[in-house]
Amino acid sequence: MEEQLFFKKLHRLCTSKEIFDFLGSLEVMSDTMASGALQRISEIEVDDSGLKNPEGVLENEVFRALCFQFEFESSKLSNTGLLNALQALIKLRVDPQSTLMARLLSEGEERLGKGQLTVKNLCALGESLLELEGPSCATLERIVSHMQEEDIEKWSPREMVMVYQMLQGTVREGQQYQDLLNRMNSVTLTMVSQLSPKFTSIVLNSLVVLHQTRAVHLVTALCKHSVKHVPYFTGDELVNVLEAFLYFGHREQIFTEALEAHVPRSVITMHPQTVSKVMQYCCQKRILSKPIFDAVAEGFISDADRFTTDQIAGYIIPFGTLNYVPPSASSLFRKLEAILHARLSHFQPHTLLNLLHSCVLIQRYPINFLPKVFSPYFLQQLQAQPPGLDRVATSQLMQLFLTVTLECPFYEGPKLLPKYQVKAFLTPQSSLDVHLLKRVKTGLLHLLKKRIYFASEVSTPYFYMVDIEIKLDEEGFVLPVAQCEEVHRRIALCVDGQTRFCVNSHNLLGEEAIKQRHLQLLGYEVVQIPFFEMESLQNCRKMAEYLHKKIFPHTFGLSC
């Protein structure tokens, strides 16, 4: 009871001075209480940049007295007191070569050798050794050997999570401990339903860090279990879960529905980094969730001034990628333009290029910022920053250039220098549904009788690849595709499989939408052949009829 009251009061204190004053007022204090106080001080005084007030902590009389006690009574300490103190002193940047640290480490290793440490103790010692000596530490192998001898089936969820966290630190040596991980993955599968939101997030994160791509059943179970925890995850926990979904290529419709219920009502209070990760997840999985996107747009309008440049890009780019214009688009892009005017030089070159390219996908033209993008200085910056001027970057630059040429003829600023222009856009091979293309070609052969009247996967002089091209003369007769004279009309058939649309949707992705828009402006008659219109066409004759009606609507039904 005395220890419970101590820790209750300890966690109400918010400065190291308050803690030292509190400790100085006590007549008696157990080693568990003393080490707990050190841990609380480390929580308060240490941030990403290190110990905030070294003199105020390390030179304090109470602190020095505690260190003296731990050093000269190390053999009398409880396991918890010993190992908690060791972890806290490492965090407080106490010299690893000092007598104090050497004695605590020596005592921990001695108890390890005698088999006196519990799973929790083993994890605490392992994390300390990882911090001090790295994953190649020989004692770490002894710790893992002890764990392998344990009856893993008897571990509690908390113990299992602690071991996963410790093993994360050994990731460079991960293969060495795969046998232990295989056993842990198997046992964890049986306890998934018992895992709290925090534990679910930690295990998923560990599976990512430890590259457990073969733990398919465990990952699937954890992803399904995470659905009910969506409203209760902290921001960092939700980020871990989303990263696991992305890493393992997992998608759950009920998880999307849970996000749709949670994000719109919480977006204002969520950390921008968490919202960015939600948008990244939707973007990479091609999930066009209008409730999420509309709420994120509203959140951007009200709060974007406090976002980092990467977060700004994380909010906006998915709108272009998934080709969605929210109801608040006018306010959204006014806000974005104001931010770009104020902070343009703060954006990394590739981030800015990705952001502006995503805008043109949905016909929002960043005219005021293109002189900078097309300038030799900016292009040199792009080249100097990894991944440099790769095919993705040059394709985006070319598409920006083509957009202002075709869609913004009033633009009179600098143009993209010829040496940066590409002959063809980078088109992911996966975007072409080969099976669907084959069905369409079979139907066309049935309709046009000869293969010479259409060509597939045609490279155009305008950087785009056309799935199928058909040429017509002035009277509307089909010409052989090899013929270049007397061509009056060109028809571009866009054979759009499922990968060119958002998931479970008829909404075309931004890259395909801009391609079809530009082909029309370049003089093609664009005919879209979407997968969902062909699902019911069971034979070649029906396919030919469908294509006749789509390509030649004015002659469909006329007798030859």
Each domain of the chain, given as residue ranges in start order, spans 429-551
At residue 1, the pLDDT reads 54
Neighbours of 288 (CB within 10 A): 22
Helix axes 2-10, 16-24, angle to 10 degrees: 150
**Which distant-in-sequence residues (6+ apart) come within 8 Å of 134 by Cβ?**
none
CA 531 to chain centre: 29
Q: Is the pLDDT of residue 557 over 60?
A: no
pLDDT digits (tens, 9 = 90+) for 501-543: 999 999 999 999 999 999 999 999 999 999 999 988 889 999 9
What does the pLDDT average to over 471-475? 92
Is 119 within 8 Å of 152 (Cβ atoms)?
no
Q: Which of 51-60, 112-121, 296-305, 521-530 has the lowest mean pLDDT?
A: 51-60
What does the pLDDT average to over 4-26? 89
Query: What distance in Å separates the CA atoms of residue 195 and residue 192, rounded to the nearest whole number?
Result: 5
pLDDT digits (tens, 9 = 90+) for 244-285: 999 999 888 999 999 999 999 999 999 999 999 999 999 999
Compute φ and ψ for 468, nearest 5 degrees. -145, 135
Q: Is the pLDDT of residue 172 over 80?
A: no
Burial pattern 395-429, b for ≥16 Cβ within 10 A else e, equals bbbbbbbbbbeeeeeeeeeeebeeebeeeebeeee
**Which distant-in-sequence residues (6+ apart) come within 8 Å of 2 by Cβ?**
none
**Which distant-in-sequence residues (6+ apart) come within 8 Å of 551 by Cβ?**
470, 491, 493, 527
Residue 403's H or E segment, with its range, is helix 391-407
Q: Would you say the C-alpha torsion 19, 24, 27, 28 has a positive or negative sign?
A: positive
5 burial (CB, 10 Å; 0-12 / 13-18 / 19+) is exposed
CA 416 to chain centre: 31
Query: What distance in Å separates the CA atoms of residue 355 and residue 310, rounded to the nearest whole number?
Result: 10
At residue 558, the pLDDT reads 42
**Which distant-in-sequence residues (6+ apart) come within 8 Å of 414 by Cβ?**
370, 371, 374, 375
Structure tokens of 57?
Answer: 């902590």
**Confidence band of 430 (pLDDT split at 50, 70, 90):** low
Q: Is the pLDDT of residue 196 over 90?
A: yes
Structure tokens of 263?
Answer: 């994000």
Give residue for tokens 């505690």: 66
Give residue for tokens 């308050």: 18
At residue 444, the pLDDT reads 95
In percent, how much of the chain has pLDDT > 70? 97
At residue 334, the pLDDT reads 97
Structure tokens of 299?
Answer: 């959140």
Structure tokens of 376?
Answer: 């030799």
Torsion of CA 280, 285, 286, 287, to 10 degrees: -80
In percent, how much of the chain has pLDDT > 90? 70
At residue 556, the pLDDT reads 53
What does the pLDDT average to over 120-130? 90
**Which distant-in-sequence residues (6+ apart) come within 8 Å of 331 by Cβ?**
301
Is 74 within 8 Å of 36 (Cβ atoms)?
no
Q: Would strands 478-479 and 465-472 be described as parallel, antiparallel, or unpaired?
A: antiparallel
Structure tokens of 321?
Answer: 């990628």
Compute φ and ψ for 273, nearest 5 degrees. -65, -35
Is 518 within 8 Å of 423 (Cβ atoms)?
no
CA 303 to chain centre: 22
pLDDT digits (tens, 9 = 90+) for 198-233: 999 999 999 999 999 999 999 999 999 999 999 999
Q: Name the nearest CA neighbour of 174 among 144, 129, 196.
A: 144
Q: Which of 7-21, 164-178, 488-502 has the lowest mean pLDDT?
A: 164-178
Neighbours of 451 (CB within 10 A): 13
**Confidence band of 560 (pLDDT split at 50, 70, 90):** very low
CATH number for domain 429-551, candidates 3.10.260, 3.40.960, 3.40.30, 3.30.70 = 3.40.960
| DSSP string covering 281-318 | HHHHTT---HHHHHHHHHHHHHHGGGS-HHHHHHHHHH
Q: Is the pLDDT of residue 135 over 60?
A: yes
Amino acid, single-letter form, for residue 194: Q
- The pLDDT mean for the chain works out to 91
What pTM was computed for the model? 0.87
Q: Name the nearest CA neighbour of 273 among 228, 251, 242.
A: 242
Q: Is the pLDDT of residue 326 over 90?
A: yes
Q: Is the pLDDT of residue 383 over 50?
A: yes
Q: Can you tell me whether residue 342 is helix, strand or coil?
A: helix
Query: What distance in Å separates the CA atoms of residue 135 and residue 507, rounded to the nearest whole number?
Result: 48
Is 225 within 8 Å of 240 (Cβ atoms)?
no
At residue 173, the pLDDT reads 52
Neighbours of 95 (CB within 10 A): 11
At residue 428, the pLDDT reads 67
User: CA separation (Å) from 424 to 195, 465, 468, 495?
Assistant: 51, 8, 16, 19
Region of residue 391 (phi > 0: left; psi between -120 and 50: alpha; otherwise: beta): alpha
At residue 546, the pLDDT reads 95
| DSSP string covering 508-537 | B-HHHHHHHHHHHHTTEEEEEEEHHHHTT-
At residue 504, the pLDDT reads 92
Query: What distance in Å separates the CA atoms of residue 531 and residue 495, rounded to the nearest whole number?
Result: 8
Give residue for tokens 């060495």: 176
